[in-house]
Structure 1
Amino acid sequence: MYEYLEGVITLIMPNYIVVDVNGIGYKVYSPTPFAYEQGKKAKVYIEQKFSDNTGLTLYGFESEDAKGLFLKLLSVSGIGPKSALAIMAAEDSKSLAEAIEQGEVKYLTRFPGVGKKTASQIVLDLKGKLGDYVQRLDQEHNEEVSPALNDALLALIALGYTKKEVNKITPKLEQADADSADEYIKYGLSLLLKK
């Protein structure tokens, strides 16, 4: 069993990458192949699956957490590796995990190959099991943003907006020319009230 591959990304395609490890090119299916840079060294966390039709297939992820989310999706009845990859490719991992944690069946039906029955099964099997994952992603993101912006994001949630609503406007807030939490809050409220 491989845990990860560390090597140079020699090819990036819409649904896979090729990782050269000491002269051997590994074809690795990924939900986010364009997150890698061709010609650059990368560490890709690997999950192997074997089937009679395709033989040994490698699936790769940018982090152990993303690999963990993939494995959790695979544990859901009716979801195979291709479906799990398609779901992860269609949405950032944090929004996906939050939707599952909040039981948003309708939101999950927008993913390729996920009908109402499968979406309900995902929520039934995984709700309550992704809280740590969401918390780690929040913590990583909070370390990347300024303290003033972080305070503003927490304030907007305290005002009653959902994490999902606040996450949608965060990129715009990050680009704003604000000096204090108050300025971020005012701008954030103006964005949220437009919707």
Structure 2
Amino acid sequence: MFEYLKGIVAKIDPAYVVLDVNGIGYKILCPTPYSYQENQPATIYVEQVVRDTGITLYGFLSLEDKELFLKLLSVSGIGPKSAVAIMAAEDTDSLASAIQNGEVKYLTRFPGVGKKTASQIVLDLKGKLGDYVKKSAVATDLTPSLQDALLALVALGYTQKEVDRITPKLAKLPENTADGYIKEALALLLKK
């Protein structure tokens, strides 16, 4: 029903955020609630799940994360809470790579995922996560100085998602030193 909600983050909890949208506080369960900042504007891509016990909103930083959530929901044995727990435990790129590579053992480390469910995830989703795998493939074509710059950004405290978001833009720039890439990256990160 909803694609996204845009408002001010009123509260952050380990499992959810409350987003104030024109005076209405929406409780949105998130895999990464601390990615948001309290009292700051945010756009959260949401999925509304209706069950016998109630209506729940699940929220994500990006449309791609929401799509991954929906793909996980399509797997037999994975419900919304399990899907959020899986996404919270690992960055989505690593998760997608593990699924693409059929790494059943890797998938069993997630909460509520046994060998049977992990095998089902691989069976149902292998080959259907092209967007995430393409992101990983781009990273291998980077110059050494750009790779150094990206590692430095993570060391400076930026999340992998933030770094991944700007990597394609940096890769399109003329070849530069690591310091030059870091300056460009910081300019891009501060634009948001």
Normalising to structure 2: TM-score of the pair?
0.74
| Inter-CA distance 65–138: structure 2 relative to 1 (3 Å threshold) | farther
Measure how far apart 1:175 and its partner are: 4.9
CA RMSD of aligned residues (A): 2.7
1:46-125 paired onto structure 2 within 5 Å:
46-53=46-53, 55-125=54-124
Aligned residues: 158
Measure how far apart 1:137 and its partner are: 6.2
Query: Aligned residue for 1:193?
Result: none
Q: Is 1:39 aligned to residue 35 of structure 2?
A: no
Query: Aligned residue for 1:126?
Result: 125
> What's the CA shift string for 1:48-82, capped at 9, x where partnerless?
010011x1110000000000000000000000000
Aligned to 1:26, the other structure's residue is in SS state strand
| Inter-CA distance 8–137: structure 2 relative to 1 (3 Å threshold) | farther
C-alpha separation between the residues in 2 aligned to 1:173 and 1:38?
23
Q: Is the 8 A contact 1:18 1:26 kept in 2?
A: yes
The AA in structure 1 aligned to 2:101 is Q
| Inter-CA distance 19–78: structure 2 relative to 1 (3 Å threshold) | same
The AA in structure 2 aligned to 1:84 is A
| Inter-CA distance 174–22: structure 2 relative to 1 (3 Å threshold) | closer
Runs of 4+ in 1 over 4 A off after TM superposition: 172-176
| Inter-CA distance 148–83: structure 2 relative to 1 (3 Å threshold) | same
Measure how far apart 1:134 and its partner are: 2.5
Measure how far apart 1:132 and its partner are: 2.1
Query: Aligned residue for 1:2?
Result: 2
Q: Is the 8 A contact 1:3 1:46 kept in 2?
A: yes
| Inter-CA distance 110–62: structure 2 relative to 1 (3 Å threshold) | same
Normalising to structure 1: TM-score of the pair?
0.73
| Inter-CA distance 172–125: structure 2 relative to 1 (3 Å threshold) | same
Q: Is the 8 A contact 1:149 1:174 kept in 2?
A: no
Unmatched 5+ stretches in structure 2:
157-176, 179-192
The AA in structure 2 aligned to 1:49 is V
Query: Aligned residue for 1:171?
Result: 151
Q: Is the 8 A contact 2:92 2:132 kept in 1?
A: no
Q: Is the 8 A contact 2:5 2:43 kept in 1?
A: yes
C-alpha separation between the residues in 2 aligned to 1:10 and 1:173?
29
Unmatched 5+ stretches in structure 1:
153-169, 181-195
